[in-house]
Amino acid sequence: MDISDIHFHDCQLRRVIELCSTNDLLMEVNYPVDWENNHFEPRTIVFRDVLNYRVDEGPFLGAATILDVQDLGLVGSRRNLRIETNAGARTLLCANVEVQ
């Protein structure tokens, strides 16, 4: 898993879905496909085999936007990710992450 290949910055969160049967977390976002022309398209960022998903955000008007994602290292066999938004932060442990 190389999160540096994913352009998290400026992704506006549309909704987050937890798939209990597979332990996956889906973040539906407006994803930057053309930075120069400020063009975004709907995409899903899929976090696989998730544990400890936590949202530490305060009241915010509108949808939160991702500012940065930090890989805090391994916890067992999962990556510890911190997702900074303009409303606060979200953290989770996951086995893999991909954009669909």
Q: pLDDT at residue 1 above 70?
A: no
Closest CA to 86 of 3, 28, 9: 9
Strand partners for 43: 29
pLDDT tens sequence across 5-18: 899 999 999 999 99
Whether 3 has a pLDDT exceeding 90, the answer reads no
Tokens of 96: 């893999």
pLDDT, tens only, 32-45: 999 889 899 999 99
Position 37 scores a pLDDT of 93
Q: Which residue(s) pair with 37 in the sheet?
A: none
